[in-house]
Amino acid sequence: MSNDEAKFILSAYRPGGRDADDPAMAQALAQARSDPALGAWFAREQAHDAAMTAKLREVAPPAGLREAILAGGRVSDAGGEGAAKQAAGGLPVAKRAWWAQPGWLAAAAAVALFIGLTAWRMSPVRGGTLEEFAVNFVDKGFRLPKHSDDVGVLKAWLAEQHGPLPEALPAKFADLRALGCKKLDFQGHEVSLVCFERGGKEFHVFVARREDLGRGTSAADVNLRFIPGATLVAATWMDAKHRYVVVSDADMATLKGVL
């Protein structure tokens, strides 16, 4: 099982460990425990799902919703009794259309909620600056179309995709394990993403052509600048041709250690 396949399965894992004994989850869970990068991704997914669940619990249902659903159920259950009353000369009981049955309404509500959450996850990543875009992109989760532990292979793939090539990565990145790469679009310009991992922490390197960013870059941007965050930290700098942003789920001290 590849990590992408495991991620697909684990995306359906519910918070609270209710699916831990599900045979379909067993192999994916075992892989997440043995693979630090997958384990870190899974931890972020679980944290996100828990946050979404907490937010949904804050939504107050309309007044009288429970009573309306129960009343609808009683009407539905009375369908057979209504037929008997009609045969005996009593008043018929109106039967709801199939699409108005409480069970179908509940299923439709669940589907609508799922579609809404999926649309949020798949909605375009926004950010006025490359740093904001990079942090938001990592925070929402993603998949890599090209996997390799050889940075040369990743650069060759990005060159085929006409993505900016990371020419001047810090020397300590040679000690990290390459995971894969991806080409992205930021405000109509190509951006390359190369991912690394060490000790269960991921380092996502975004590379943009300096000329593409135009206005909004300055001489001060050449210097290495660190950006703290609640769950993700980042750093940015430029060389003569490219702008770099590194986003990591490590702490700031660890990020500074590789830069």
Give the tens place of pLDDT for each residue, 24-46: 788 888 888 888 778 887 877 77
pLDDT reading at 193 higher than 90: yes
Q: Are residues 146 and 246 in the same domain?
A: yes
Q: Are residues 94 and 167 in the same domain?
A: no
Number of domains in the chain: 3
Q: Are residues 196 and 155 in the same domain?
A: yes
Q: Are residues 136 and 240 in the same domain?
A: yes
| Cβ neighbours of residue 185 closer than 8 Å, sequence gap 6 or more | 191
Q: Are residues 36 and 73 in the same domain?
A: no
Q: Are residues 107 and 135 in the same domain?
A: no
Strands 225-227 and 146-147: unpaired
Share of the chain above pLDDT 90, in %: 34
| Cβ neighbours of residue 199 closer than 8 Å, sequence gap 6 or more | 36
**Cα–Cα distances in angstroms (integers) from residue 169 to residues 172, 205, 235, 245, 246, in the given order:** 8, 9, 13, 11, 10
Q: Are residues 103 and 160 in the same domain?
A: no
Cβ-contact 247, 153 below 8 angstroms: no
244 burial (CB, 10 Å; 0-12 / 13-18 / 19+) is buried
Q: Is residue 121 part of a domain?
A: no
What is the pLDDT, as a whole number, of residue 99?
A: 47
**Cα–Cα distances in angstroms (integers) from residue 72 to residues 61, 78, 96, 101, 112, in the given order:** 17, 10, 8, 7, 20
Tokens of 42: 């899974």
Q: Is residue 123 part of a domain?
A: no
Question: Position 249: which residue type?
Answer: D
Q: Is residue 124 part of a domain?
A: no
Indicate the residue among 59, 78, 105 that finishes a domain. Answer: 59
Q: Is residue 118 part of a domain?
A: no
Q: Are residues 34 and 152 in the same domain?
A: no
Q: Is residue 125 part of a domain?
A: no
Q: Are residues 208 and 159 in the same domain?
A: yes
pLDDT reading at 116 higher than 50: no
Q: Are residues 30 and 107 in the same domain?
A: no
Q: Is residue 122 part of a domain?
A: no
Which run of H or of E encompasses 234? strand 233-238
pLDDT digits (tens, 9 = 90+) for 85-104: 555 555 555 555 554 555 55
Contacts of range 153-158, beta carbons closer than 8 Å, 24 or more positions apart = 154/178, 154/180, 154/181, 154/194, 157/181, 158/183, 158/192, 158/194
212 burial (CB, 10 Å; 0-12 / 13-18 / 19+) is middle
Q: Are residues 154 and 251 in the same domain?
A: yes
What is the pLDDT, as a whole number, of residue 233?
A: 95
CA-wise closest residue to 250 among 153, 97, 94, 138: 138
Better-predicted residue by pLDDT, 213 or 157: 157
What is the pLDDT, as a whole number, of residue 8?
A: 76
Domain that holds residue 71: 65-113
Collapse the DSSP code of 150 into the 3-class scheme (helix H, G, I; strand E, B; otherwise coil) and give the result.
Answer: coil
Q: Are residues 52 and 78 in the same domain?
A: no
Q: Is residue 241 part of a domain?
A: yes
What is the pLDDT, as a whole number, of residue 232?
A: 93
pLDDT digits (tens, 9 = 90+) for 45-82: 777 777 777 767 776 666 776 777 777 666 555 555 55
Indicate the residue among 41, 59, 77 that finishes a domain. Answer: 59
Q: Residue 134 sits in a domain of what CATH number?
A: 3.30.200.100
Indicate the residue among 59, 79, 103 that finishes a domain. Answer: 59
CA-wise closest residue to 105 among 58, 69, 74: 69
Q: What is the pTM of this model?
A: 0.56
Cβ-contact 103, 75 below 8 angstroms: no
